[in-house]
Amino acid sequence: MDVNDFSCTAQPRSSTIAITLYFKLTYALFGTRFMPVLIDNGDRDFLAVLHRLGGASVPDICAAIGVTATAVRQKLGKLTVAGLVERQAVRTPRGRPHHTYVLTSEGRRSLGDNYRSLAQALWSEVNQIDDPELRQKLAERVQSALVRKFGTQVVAREVADRFRQLAEGLTDQGFHAEYELREGLPILREHHCPYEDLAAHDNSICVLEKQVFETVLGVRLEMGKNCRDGDTCCEFQAVSPSVEGSI
């Protein structure tokens, strides 16, 4: 992220606030990787118990939360895949070693993370900046940062291949995304909205995401299905089968 676009010389207070909001918002939107396995409140409660125990074996966890060993192992499996929990071997002077489960650094951070609420609050603050030119500039910087984040893997020349690469890149970062061809035109489909709470209050985040994808893919897009409208996914369809010179 480059602050050179915001001159630091004799900036008015509104500009200083905008710079601060830019860095906070970009971090809140994508400062950490999205988790490949989505976690819910039950998972967070489980992580909190495990953290309080300071690491524990399956029987210890069963005793602490009052569920079966099968349920505990299933939960541990999910959270281990998500990179939030890891297994450690504990060796004793006698007998075979046993295993305990502890939170990873990512797991510990997740207990204090509430990026959706933070992003929603910061996005609201951005839209309340009085200076329209400054507000637009800030939105453009956020858009550029998203383009850099999502466009790294998109290098193909053919439009369909670019859609495939973007879908794969989004999936690698924890989104559930896919692409398909429909009547010769590629479609990018997101099965869960990464900005659901934001979009519920302000559809400008949907517009921003569409503009980001247009820049990354090099084609104009139109939205079909939209989670904000109650659909089960968001669809972005190319309006042209070839890459355009400028978006």
- What's the confidence (pLDDT) of residue 8? 38
Residues 171 and 232 in one domain: yes
Reading the block at residue 182, the tokens are 């429909």
- What's the confidence (pLDDT) of residue 10? 40
Residues 106 and 173 in one domain: no
Cβ-count burial 132-149 (b if 16+ within 10 Å, e if not): eebbebbbebbbbbbbee
Q: Say if CB 238 and CB 220 are below 8 A apart.
A: yes
In a domain, 139, yes or no: no
Q: Say if CB 177 and CB 190 are below 8 A apart.
A: yes
Q: Say if CB 76 and CB 139 are below 8 A apart.
A: no
How confident is the chain (247 residues) per 10-residue block, as mean pLDDT?
Answer: 41 50 53 53 87 90 94 94 90 81 85 62 76 84 86 91 93 81 91 74 85 94 88 88 57
- What's the confidence (pLDDT) of residue 145? 85
* CA atoms of 190 and 194, how far apart (whole Å): 9
- What's the confidence (pLDDT) of residue 50? 92
* CA atoms of 82 and 41, how far apart (whole Å): 15
- The domain of 158 spans 151-238
In a domain, 33, yes or no: no
Q: Say if CB 95 and CB 67 are below 8 A apart.
A: no
Q: Say if CB 227 and CB 193 are below 8 A apart.
A: yes
- What's the confidence (pLDDT) of residue 243? 59
In a domain, 167, yes or no: yes
Please tell me the pTM assigned to this model. 0.59
Q: Say if CB 159 and CB 242 are below 8 A apart.
A: yes
CATH of the domain at 213: 3.30.980
CATH of the domain at 76: 1.10.10.10
